[in-house]
Amino acid sequence: MIKIKINSIIFIITLIIGLSNGFFLKNLYPPTETANRLIGTIDSKPLFLTPYIESGQLDKGRRLSEVVGLSGLDLKSYSGFLTVNKTYDSNMFFWFFPALTEKTDVPVLLWLQGGPGGSSLFGLFVENGPIKVSANGTPYMRDSTWNREFAVLYIDNPVGTDVAENLYEALRQFFTLYYEYKGNPFFLTGESYAGKYVPAIGYKIHCMGKEAEKSGINLQGLAIGDGFSDPKHMVDYGDYLYQVGLIDEIQRAHFKEEQRLAIKYIDDGQMMKAAQIFDRLLDGDFDKKSYFYNATGLNFYYNILYDRQPDDFGYYSKFLASAKTRESIHVGNLHFGDDSIRVEEHLLNDMMASVSPWIEKLLDGNYRLMFYSGQLDIIVAAPLTENFLRHLKWKRSNEYRMAKRLIYRVSPNDPSVAGYVRQAGNLYQVIIRNAGHILPYDQPKVALDMITRFVKNESF
């Protein structure tokens, strides 16, 4: 069994891992004026579902977890907390959306956010979930929602010292409580730093074998968007930034020098030093202003066309802070807060570690894996992902390196090119045009088409 340790911080209640003002991939889940302030108080307490699961009161637990009272939304969903470690009273918050078709014999998708420490509710409200929120905090339905045909589960993570162990326990309880989905095709999805979480839980499920199947976890594939999976082979920012005109040759030389040093530290196992170089070169979480910022004047590296984050990235925080919403989703008077910097601090030793060995095992285990990139991303640019994929060692490595890249259109007669696809057996590499790091936000219809083709195993 491959040993790759991924540490994280323990939270007593994990809803507080949401909006952050500084972490590994900073400014993605920005703080707003309502991030730490409740709008009204309620009498109800957070809903912990594990006692109902353990006592066999499944129907009662399901009934209590149903989300009701969200005005203007004709939408069935369930939410609550699952206790994943009783010793530390560690709990994970989830929000589950059955397919809009109301069918239960459908694939189930798990979405995990990156960060590390970003809340998966960002993905729900900003990227691919059924709910969007307006500037005044009013919710409305998203057209290109991933639960159109699939059931989608959003879980906030990490929580304890073993990310995969905690997630596996949460999934085991989830499939026990919502038993009609047991054995359905199951897919792990996520973006950014979830490029480590998704392979971690995928490999955990793979290793559990028959026990996972008995729990109803029928893993079929993994889809990772702009994932930071193998830092050693994903730090060549100098050439990329130079080629797109954001830095000159002198600045590129500085990037290259720092990159070489970071790779040396990774090879020597000095991950903390490698992470510090990354921070001062590009991230700027601990050094205040990164070299990237000083060279380009840009403080937003998720889309090459933006110089600041879109305002609507933070609209949902007001919605979550309201008493009505908190009562509906069973979180009581807990804050949706900006504590993610603590997650990064506890993960610094793991930040620059690779999960390639897990990915290679999953590929050789015949699970389908899709790595998708936004053409306009900077922080995990498409060429960086391609370099990492070319260094993977698995049974079809040579086939991938020689695979022909195909043009991808949403429909055959569509004059617009959606992107490009390269496939070798069960490995898919997809690049989507006119999209950045937050790909489903930039290209929602294309992202929905892409994930639908992948889950249904349809050709691009």
Query: Is the pLDDT assigned to residue 121 strictly greater than 90?
Result: yes
Residue 39 pLDDT level (bands cut at 50, 70, 90): confident
For the residues 103-112, what does the mean pLDDT come to? Answer: 98
**H or E segment and range at residue 52:** helix 50-54
DSSP reduced 3-state for 406: strand
Per the DSSP assignment, residues forming a β-bridge with 424 are 427
At 159, the pLDDT band (50, 70, 90 cuts) reads low
| Residue 286 confidence (pLDDT) above 80 | no
**Cα end-to-end span (Å), the chain:** 34
pLDDT of 446 > 50? The answer is yes
pLDDT over 50 at 30, yes or no: no
356-380 pLDDT, tens digit each: 999 999 999 999 999 999 999 999 9
Neighbours of 406 (CB within 10 A): 13
Tokens 């069918």 label which residue? 103
Region of poorest pLDDT, from 9-18, 53-62, 182-191, 381-390 = 9-18
Percentage of the residues of the chain whose pLDDT score is greater than 90: 78
Domains contained in the chain, CATH given: 14-230+312-338+351-456 (3.40.50.1820), 232-311 (no CATH)
Quote the CA–CA distance of 171 and 168 in Å, as a whole number: 5
Does the CA dihedral 108-181-176-4 come out positive or negative?
A: negative
Give the confidence band of 344 by pLDDT, cuts at 50, 70, 90.
Answer: low
Residue 94 pLDDT exceeds 90: yes
Please report which confidence band the pLDDT of residue 41 belongs to, taking 50, 70 and 90 as the band edges: confident
Mean pLDDT is highest, among 19-23, 159-163, 203-207, for 203-207
Evaluate if residue 36 carries a pLDDT over 70: no
Q: pLDDT at residue 32 above 50? A: no
Burial of residue 452 (number of CB atoms within 10 Å: 0-12, 13-18, 19+)? middle
Residue 251 CB neighbour total at 10 angstroms: 18
> Is the pLDDT score of 34 beyond 60?
no
pLDDT band at 161 (very low <50, low <70, confident <90, very high): low
Indicate the range of 268-277, 300-309, 343-352 predicted with least confidence.
343-352
Confidence band of 181 (pLDDT split at 50, 70, 90): very high
Give the tens place of pLDDT for each residue, 324-341.
999 999 998 887 764 456
Residue 4 has pLDDT above 60, yes or no: no
pLDDT at 163: 82
Pick from 12, 91, 10, 20: nearest CA to 337:
20
**C-alpha span between 158 and 116 (Å, rounded):** 8
State the pLDDT at residue 404: 97
Exposed e or buried b per residue across 88-101, where buried means at least 16 C-beta atoms within 10 angstroms of its C-beta: eebbbbbbbbbbbe
Contact 373/388 with Cβ under 8 angstroms?
A: no
Amino acid identity of residue 266, one-letter, is: I
Residues 288-305: tens digit of each pLDDT: 789 999 999 998 899 999
State residue 39 phi and psi, 5-degree precision: -105, 90
Q: How many other CB atoms are found less than 10 A from the CB of residue 345?
A: 13
pLDDT band at 11 (very low <50, low <70, confident <90, very high): very low
The pTM of this model reads 0.92
Q: In 10 A of CB 410, how many CB atoms?
A: 18
| Chain centre distance of CA 279 | 21
The residue among 390 and 69 whose pLDDT is bigger is 390
pLDDT band at 71 (very low <50, low <70, confident <90, very high): confident
Taking residues 21-26, report their average pLDDT: 42
The whole-number pLDDT of residue 17 equals: 39
Residue 37: predicted pLDDT: 65
* Cβ contacts of 441-445, under 8 Å, gap ≥ 24: 441/126, 441/127, 441/310, 442/303, 442/374, 442/376, 443/374, 443/418, 444/127, 444/128, 444/142, 444/143, 444/144, 445/143, 445/144, 445/410
Q: For the residues 167-192, what does the mean pLDDT come to?
A: 98
Nearest alpha-carbon partner for 207 in 170, 244, 168, 242 = 168
Mean pLDDT of the chain: 89
List active site positions. Answer: 192, 377, 437
According to DSSP, residue 405 is labeled P
Tell me how far apart the alpha carbons of residues 202 and 188 are, in angstroms, rounded to a whole number.
7
Q: Characterize the bridge pairing of strands 108-112 and 131-133.
A: unpaired
Out of 94-108, 146-160, 416-430, least confident range: 146-160
**Cα torsion 338, 342, 348, 352: sign:** negative
- Yes or no: say if 316 and 133 are a contact pair by the CB < 8 Å rule: yes
Written as one string, the DSSP assignment of 100-154 is: TT--SSS-EEEEE--TTT--HHHIIIIIISSEEE-TTS-EEE-SS-TTTTSEEEE
Lowest mean pLDDT among 258-272, 276-290, 294-308: 276-290
